[in-house]
Chain A
Amino acid sequence: MRRLAIALAAAAALAAGTLQASAERLITSISRHQVLVSSNFTGTSIVLFGTIEPDTPTARRRAATYNLVAVVSGPKQTTVTRRKERVLGIWTNADSRTFVGVPSYLAVLANRAIPDIASADLLRRLQIGFDNTVLPQQIGADVGDVARDDPFRANFIRLKRQQGLYMEVTNGVTFLTPTVFRAGIPLPAGTPVGNYDVTVRVFADGNQLAQANSAFEVVKVGFEQFIAGAAHDYGLLYGIATAIMAIFTGWLASVMFRKD
């Protein structure tokens, strides 16, 4: 009877693409829920770890085939991608595309090559991998994603990868035992401040078995927070203070170096 129920659930899941009444429980935790950016911040990394608990004997048997994908998505940003072209013998920014509300940081960590984990259709639906992530562009008055081989899209991803803000790591998740895993999330020096969403998904035989969500935030603290806050909230005063600081520094130097 129980097997039948699982079989029915599996059939339902195949139809729906995801397994709702899953036989696996996914428990995850991250090493820090807050990354503090202070004046000596030069990048860091946080660790995601977790365990997959198979509840049924059937589930236990397929434990060896678990695949895991963790997607870390940073605060949304609007970014312009420009292309230089030769105009009258001069290289200048000619064409451009505006990417609206795209993740400023995107890490796709998996334990194997992403196409091997699930069907292309399912991966696209779950937005796993750069090719499947929706990167909406401003097209006239509308906003929409374009073909995957669009040069602006490809170069946007390439430049973000160069900055260390986008990454697709196929050995980013390590299974310590067939059910216990860990993954390092590298945060480079230029990591944007804001909220980060972590979505972890377990797959077996091309189906999603379980999903867990988590989050962390990157915040400025102390002096950094004070300066950024003052610049943002009291722009005029901040500007006047900076100008006075400039004049004072100049005056101090001219007094200190005075010869007569």
Chain B
Amino acid sequence: MNTVEVENVVKTFGDKVAVDQLSFSVASGEIFGLIGPNGAGKTTTIKMVMDIIKPDSGGVTVLGEQMNEAAKNKIGYMPEERGLYKKQRVLDVIVYLAMLKGMSRRAAEEKANRMLEQTGMLPHARKKIEELSRGMGQIIQFIVTTIHDPQLLILDEPFSGLDPVNTEASMKMVLDLRSQGKAVILSTHQMNQVEQLCDRILMVNKGRAVLYGGLAEIKSKYRNNSVLLEHEGELGEVPGIAEKRVFKNHVELFLSDDTTPQQLLERLLERGIIIHRFELATPPLNEIFIRVAGESHK
């Protein structure tokens, strides 16, 4: 059973179609990237999954059932802006929001203290949210999102505005969630993070799905049939190479249709060329996106 099952949902606001016939599923133990430019319909989709807004048509099931108030307790949602009561104390905020998710005060307090301790935030438990640094606020937000042990996590731009150290720490937290068997929906437009974290992706543009599937699969589908090479020695004329592009530290070799990368590698080795790097060139997701978005634009 998939954790999330979205089937043919449509949502229009006035004349504008925000989400058009979108279908996807998210399994437990995977990080699912919901990507696309601003205004593509990501947030609307997320709100429909959380039952904050209702689709005009189509259906959403979470953990095998239609969304209802009880199912909301199995979802952890982290908004893009860090949504916490600035004037309140850290522990109070965590406990209050955990109780809204159906935890008892006592269980919430215990778990909050344990999680604060694990993250090294216990000394700050009595501080007000506004006294925390951005990175600390992010940790608290993660605790709030996960304290009730949700099966599904929806993270909206979880790394925006974080410095590299905090980004790294946050990414580790997301990966930990996957290893605990949670289903994670990661909404972002930062493609490099998607490449680092996501197992599968759904790319939306103007409310429609333009790419859907495993990340590796998509990347190989869109690869140029070229290899990236860092080498020593003169390359000269090598059969099977249709085009050569020279970059600062490497060259990109585009193969002719009858040549496989394996054959090229053998030919290079035969010529005694010292190879530091030989890599099938997969285009960055960014490039795929621009290409696909461009196509769907036409």
- A and B bound? no
B residues engaging A (CB < 8 A)? none
A residues engaging B (CB < 8 A)? none
